[in-house]
Structure formats: C-alpha cells, structure tokens
Amino acid sequence: MQTATKHWDTYQDEAVTEYTIENDNGVKLAILSWGATLHKLMVPTDKGDKNLVLSYHKMADYLDNPFYVCMGIGRTGGRITRGTFDLGGETVHVDANEGQNTLHGGPHGFNTVNWVGDLDTTDPEKARIILTHTFKSTDDSFPGDLTAKMIYSLDNHDRVTLTFEATSTALTLFNPTLHVYFNVGDDQLIAGQTLQINSQEHLDLDGEKLPTGKMVANVGTPYDFADGQNLGKAIRGLQDIPEKGFDDVYHVVPGTDDTIAKLSDPQSNRAVTIKSKRNGLVVFTANSFTSDMKLTVGAGQPYMGIALEAQGLPDSQNFPAFGDVKLAPGETAHDEIIYDITY
C-alpha cells in the first residue's frame, strides 16, 4: 500500500491537492481536494493502466460545465422543488441554482469548495483519504453549520469505500452522493456495456426533472435493468424522448450484501459493483455532453460515460414516503458507498 500527495493545479488562487493511494495489486485511487473529486480509478491492464472514471486535465474544466463530473455532491443530491421544504415545523427556502429549483446542494454545495485533506496509512491493508469542510449556513443557505467529511479508502481487495460523515449545529438535511461517471470498457462509448440494477421502479419526473411523488414500473420497458441489459439497446429504446437516454432516479432495494447495481464490460471483463444501504440510484448516460468538454479521453460526446449516483431518493423532504434525510443537531450522520472493482 503506497500513498502520495502532490500539488495538482491552482484554481481561484487556491492550491488543488491530489491524494493518491495505490494498493498491492496496482490499483490506484486519486482524489482532488477541490470538490472532493474522484479524479482517477486506475486498474492495470496488459496495455497499461486504465482509468475507469471520466476526468479532466485542469480544475477549471471540472467546473466550467453543468455535469459535476466525478465531484462530491451535498448537502443533498438531486433537486429540491422550488428550493423549499418544511423542516421542524417551519418553511425553509434555500438558494436555487437551476431555474427556481435547488440542484445538488445549490450554488455553494460540496463541489464548490476546496476541502482540507489528510492521508491515513495506519492500516497496512487499506489507506484512507480524509477530506473535511465546514459549510456555514450563511454560505450555502441550508439550516445549521454542517461539518462534513468525505473519506475515501482503497483496500487490497480492490474495493473503494466512500464514507460520508456530518454533524450540524441545527436541524438540517443530509443526503450526499458522488457524481461519478464510469466507463469500464476500452471503447469511447458505453454502448457495449451491461448494467444491472436491483430495482423494479423509477421515479416519475415532470418536465423540470422534479419528482411528482409517483413511481413508474420498469418491467417491459427500456428502464428494466433488473436482470441486466445492454446499455446501447436500452439507450436506443429511448430515442423518442427529449433526453435520448437516461437521466432517471431508480428506487433500489439493496441486496443482502447491499449491492444495488453492477456495471460490466463483456469485452474486457472489467466491472464495478455498487453497494449502498440507501434507496436511490441516479442513472445518467451523459446524453447532453458537448464537444467543448476537454476530458482526458477526448472531446465530450453523448454516452461516453454513465453516472451512477447512490443516495436517498431526492426531494424526500417534500415526499416523506421517499425516506427521511433529516440530521438533528448533535447527531452524526453516516452514509457509505462501496465500489467493488474487478478487472
């Protein structure tokens, strides 16, 4: 188990640090301090290392588009309708950043700050990158000052564990995620890859991609990934909708080992299995990526990656049946996403 820290870039006059862990199998995990961004997840191949996630060359490129590529998301993942919800008997308004709605924690969310990082190498079988930041209510408009941690670990079983921890000075919301985009194959696009999701239904969304509170059955439609489905076929089945691909929220039921989804590539035999105890998975097939995106693998284009964001169902504070994401003062929130890598 090896670790390294280096200056990666400067953004808004702040130094952006890259923290790297390499396990005994040659798998490498690289995290950037700005946005707690998953910059690289490298696996060895006979042609050299392969990055399983999309990334950029510069920090500005991560932030000069609306796609949150591999960045930390919080306090809440997904959209809050009109930036308004009831909390503790009071109506709360938070800052909007997508029309009248609040997306991914709003304009001052987890992706917008430079986190303080530290490396923990006390365990010989795994190493951890611990990122910490306090989000002041006066900055991000959510109730309470939230001290948050995003802790990435890599072990010798090729397992990446992302732990979210938080405490707040007042009753608030906490439903974080990682907006990670995977491409586990060698092709430029994800069309040849297979996705399986432990889900029988997805959220009904309106024209602003806001939940209506209803669910739509997946069976018999391109949305059905219960038994695994080729992504190219599934995307072709959605060419008659405006998105021409997936931008959807699945209601998932974690398996006995907390598995909620698996993305695999039949050609390379690479795969990532996603494990979470929460009930939501956002699936976005990069339908609206544009050619001015300067990704490390080339210019942006639709379907070059798939975002798989494990979280509680979004806007649950307005739809209590979706779950409870409230965090009381003095309590510590703890959520976890595990990415099991095979190659």
Contact indicator for 160, 311 with CB cutoff of 8 Å: no
Contact indicator for 82, 100 with CB cutoff of 8 Å: yes
Contact indicator for 154, 23 with CB cutoff of 8 Å: yes
Contact indicator for 286, 304 with CB cutoff of 8 Å: yes
* Alpha carbons 38 and 30: distance in angstroms, whole number: 6
Q: Which residues are catalytic?
A: 179, 309
Which residues are 42's β-sheet partners?
28, 51
b/e per residue, 29-43, with b = 16+ CB within 10 A? bbbbbbbbbbbbbbb
CA distances from 235 to 193, 216, 270 (A): 11, 18, 21
